[in-house]
Structure 1
Amino acid sequence: MTLTAIQQRKVEENMGLVHQVIKDKVHGYNQWGFYTYDDLFQIGCVGLCKAAATDKGGTFSTYAYRLIWHEICDALIQSTKRYSDEITADVTPYKKVETENGEFLSGLRIDLFQTLSSARREAPPSTAKGIDAMVMMSQGYTSSEIGERMGASAKLVCAWVSKARKFLKERPETEAIAVYRS
């Protein structure tokens, strides 16, 4: 978008309006999704530029305030949808592995059980639910079935599992179990 000199001056004079919109409308760090304050400021500046480019007269700050907020809202909504899609795509089905080497498999099961039990005791409640859901998935249950048993939606189960995976990846004892996979 190319702005004229007058439009550019209008944008420069109203940069504080972007800060004001973020201060007034975006509350709490948890609502921002993937965005930092600087990201939201840049997104708001795009809205301010659009306002300057399409201004037809009248009270500019009122018009620009709405366009800035709409631009930020659109970005937050899109990031929420993207995050939701990533959570549902993150859950892969777990299947039982059949092998001729029964000892190896039972040793692996013992290690997994001990590791998961230890991790579950130290995990926050939602992460512990995710570990329980992972165990149920390994037994062949779907997210919907697990959700019915745990009194939650399938998407919430997927979110728990995603959180549990991240929690387990950070634990040193899971590295030892990863050796069994290769």
Structure 2
Amino acid sequence: MKLNNAQCTLVTENLRLVHKVIHDKVHSPQQLGMFSYDDLFQIGCIGLCKAAATDKGGVFSTYAYRLIWNEICSALEYASVRTTREALTDPDIMGQSVTKAALPEIDYIDLNTLLDKAEHEVSGVTAKGIRALRLKARGYTSREIGQIMGAPANHVTAWVAKARAYLKTCKEFHSFV
């Protein structure tokens, strides 16, 4: 990404915003995952540069704050999926026997039926969110789900948030979990 002089100045003047986003949004060291603070700062700087490159006027700090946080979220989500995939393919982990006490018995058929019922009770964005949640459970990223469902990744993220909010209010789902 190539920035002009005005955009470079905008980035330089707002570098503190990256620290503020990390400080405000990343609440515990466990959220950092495989990243150090410096890694997150660099990722946030990429978001800040994207904000400067696509700024159309208005309050820059508000716009940049959101883009910085989106960039960090994407990186944390990717790291989480990557770590899960690596753990599932690690022969040392796969070779270990897992006791029944370590993993609670889950009735996947009931969960699937419950999600089917919830999906039929709702419509629009929430129903799409439930479909996206199922794909996320299989390890797909928002970008991959967006390609499958023909929508941008940020739409998928919004759908999933809507579906989660709905499922939190659903008594049957809450008692199942």
Structure 2-normalised TM-score? 0.55
Q: How many angstroms apart in 2 are the aligned matches of 1:151 and 1:30?
A: 22
**How many residues are treated as equivalent by the alignment?**
104
Query: What is the correspondence of 1:103-182 to structure 2 with a 5 Å cutoff?
Result: 134=96, 137=97, 146=99, 149-150=100-101, 152=103
State the AA in 2 paired with 1:70: N
State the AA in 1 paired with 2:103: A
Q: What is aligned with 2:54? A: 54
Q: How many angstroms apart in 2 are the aligned matches of 1:89 and 1:12?
A: 42
Is residue 45 of structure 1 aligned with residue 45 of structure 2? Answer: yes
Identity value in percent: 54
Q: How many angstroms apart in 1 are the aligned matches of 2:33 and 2:85?
A: 13
State the AA in 2 paired with 1:62: T
Q: Any unmatched runs of 5+ in structure 1?
A: 95-133, 138-142, 155-182
Shift of 1:151: 5.3
Distance 1:76 1:153, change over 3 A: farther
Distance 1:89 1:153, change over 3 A: farther
Q: Any unmatched runs of 5+ in structure 2?
A: 106-177
Q: How many angstroms apart in 2 are the aligned matches of 1:38 and 1:7?
A: 23
Q: What is aligned with 1:4? A: 4
CA distances 1:78-128 after superposition (whole Å, capped 9, x unpaired): 00001111111114565xxxxxxxxxxxxxxxxxxxxxxxxxxxxxxxxxx
The structure showing larger relative contact order (alpha-carbon pairs under 8 Å, at least 6 residues apart) is 1
Shift of 1:152: 1.1
CA distances 1:116-153 after superposition (whole Å, capped 9, x unpaired): xxxxxxxxxxxxxxxxxx3xx3xxxxx5xx4xx22516
SS in 2 for 1:2: coil
State the AA in 2 paired with 1:54: T
State the AA in 2 paired with 1:16: R
